[in-house]
């Protein structure tokens, strides 16, 4: 397919250009045409400040919601969610917590919606990409995992997603075939994921092999070692390393412009967790 004739190529280039050189949105912007159509059809709902930021080309950071419903009890989960959003705002970006509320995918949650999700806890459906259609069709409330959050973020043009630890290949996964859908999503969805590696209980060497198979660019920010969620040491080497926000931006931009089928995964050690949003621009 010719580069100039690819509508998908034009859309991706326009998206990365918008984040590098923010400009007000117009009716000719392909992303806004799509997102407006979604809202007009009662599909994805983009909340006020998030919509405004996307229209103006301002930085937006996606956040998952499973950590709210399934990660900790109420009210700690609610307070943590608000604190994370505040950190994003203090870093100069607009937070977009993503969830499905009563069958409606929402990009950005109001405080009362955050509280409702936090109070529901595990009664909310833990929603991966596999579960999206079911949760929407049944008009349920679903808390999005890494894969579902990436899916919705990409749909509305959010290019950066921040989370804790991603899923991976489970131990004895070579016989059980228990592999998180997070990994396949990373191989097909154009979103930069900033995280603290994979959860330490997983098979990290096989997870790295699977990421390589999926063509996912894995980069350590300020570290040569692949972290394991709550510890900076896993015994596994990170495939690549960067040390500045500018290097992160350059790799992300190259991924989008070159239309790579898999996109950037940036890993942070625990020592960098407090600065996790430093290079989100």
Question: Of 168, 274, 267, 271, which is closest to residue 226 (Cα–Cα)?
Answer: 267
Distance CA 145, CA 128 (A): 5
The DSSP secondary structure of 138-170, one letter per residue, reads TT--EEE-HHHHHHHHHHHT--EEE-S-B--BP
Distance CA 36, CA 228 (A): 39
Is the distance from CB of 108 to CB of 95 less than 8 angstroms?
yes
Distance CA 120, CA 186 (A): 29
- Which of the residues are catalytic? 64, 199
Distance CA 211, CA 207 (A): 6
Distance CA 38, CA 36 (A): 5
Q: φ and ψ at 256, to 5 degrees?
A: -70, -45
| Close Cβ partners of 59 (under 8 Å, ≥ 6 residues apart) | 19, 53, 92, 93, 94, 160, 280, 281
Rg from Cα positions in the chain:
18
**Residue 229: strand pairing partners:** none
């Amino acid at each position: 397919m010719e580069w100039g004739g690819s509508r998908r190529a034009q859309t991706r280039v326009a998206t990365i250009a918008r984040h590098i050189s923010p400009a007000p949105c117009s009716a000719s912007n392909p992303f806004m045409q799509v997102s407006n159509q979604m809202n007009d059809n009662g599909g994805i709902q983009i909340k006020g400040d998030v919509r405004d930021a996307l229209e103006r080309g301002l930085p937006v950071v996606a956040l998952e919601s499973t950590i709210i419903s399934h990660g900790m009890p109420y009210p700690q989960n609610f307070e943590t969610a608000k604190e994370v959003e505040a950190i994003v705002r203090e870093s100069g970006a607009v937070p977009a917590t993503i969830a499905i509320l009563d069958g409606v995918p929402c990009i950005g949650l109001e405080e009362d919606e955050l509280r409702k999700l936090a109070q529901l806890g595990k009664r909310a459906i833990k929603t991966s990409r596999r579960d999206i259609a079911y949760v929407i069709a049944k008009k349920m409330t679903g808390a999005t995992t890494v894969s579902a959050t990436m899916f919705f973020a990409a749909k509305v043009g959010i290019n950066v997603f921040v989370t804790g630890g991603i899923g991976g290949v489970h131990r004895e996964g070579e016989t059980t075939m228990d592999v998180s859908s997070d990994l396949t999503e990373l191989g097909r969805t154009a979103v930069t994921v900033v995280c603290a590696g994979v959860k330490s209980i997983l098979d990290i060497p096989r997870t790295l092999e699977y990421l390589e198979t999926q063509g996912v660019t894995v980069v350590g920010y300020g570290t040569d070692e692949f972290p394991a969620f709550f510890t900076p040491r896993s015994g596994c080497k990170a495939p690549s390393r960067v040390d500045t926000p500018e290097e992160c931006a350059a790799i992300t931009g190259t991924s989008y412009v070159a239309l790579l089928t898999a996109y950037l995964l940036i890993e942070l050690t625990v020592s960098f967790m407090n600065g996790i949003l430093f290079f989100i621009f």
